[in-house]
Amino acid sequence: MLDSSCSKDQIRVIVADDSEIVRSIISAMIENGLSAECSSARGLDEALKIASDTPVDLVLLDYQMPGMDGLNGLKRIMATDARHVALLSGAMPSEVVEEAIALGASGFLPKTLPPRDMLGAVNAMCLGERFPAQHFLDRMM
């Protein structure tokens, strides 16, 4: 199990994706691998409600789910009290990743990341780090 020192209490994550199977798999992986508590959201509005009602360490947002409207959804969820927000997608142009990070996102997680890397990235982002790290972004360019 990885270090789960995101906060004094249990790590709280929202996994927001319009695919039930993606939400279920990523949530189970995070709950089991980091002893975290995950909430699921089918779209941006549901994620916004959860983030407004509950203190959250990290929100993982599917870039192409209902309500996102490009990076406008990212801006809206970042206006909540969520400590960190990252985008989640099967693929995303590097310029969108750069823009999201410039807006204050904690990073971008490809849905194809191996489980151990996904857990490491989630933990790192909860601790305030960016993912991918700049050296990884440089290699993507």
Q: Quick one: pLDDT at residue 9?
A: 66
* Pairwise CA distance, residues 48 & 50, whole Å: 6
Instruction: Report the Cα–Cα distance between both ends of the chain, in Å, rounded.
Output: 32
Residue with tokens 């933990």: 123
Q: Quick one: pLDDT at residue 30?
A: 96
> Mean pLDDT for each 10-residue chunk of the chain (141 residues)?
49 96 96 95 96 94 93 95 93 87 92 91 92 56 46
Task: From residue 125, give the alpha-carbon distance in Å to each of 67, 71, 118, 138.
Answer: 24, 19, 11, 19
Token pair, residue 88, equals 């989640």
Query: CA torsion sign, 68 to 139 to 106 to 1?
Result: positive
* Pairwise CA distance, residues 99 & 15, whole Å: 21
Q: Quick one: pLDDT at residue 24?
A: 97
Residue-wise pLDDT for 78-95, tens only, equals 999 899 999 999 888 888
Closest residue by Cα to residue 30 from 66, 60, 50: 60
Please provide the average confidence, as pLDDT, over all residues in the chain. Answer: 87
Total residues belonging to the chain:
141
Specify the 3-state DSSP secondary structure of 37.
strand
Q: Which pTM does this prediction carry? A: 0.87
* Pairwise CA distance, residues 85 & 21, whole Å: 21
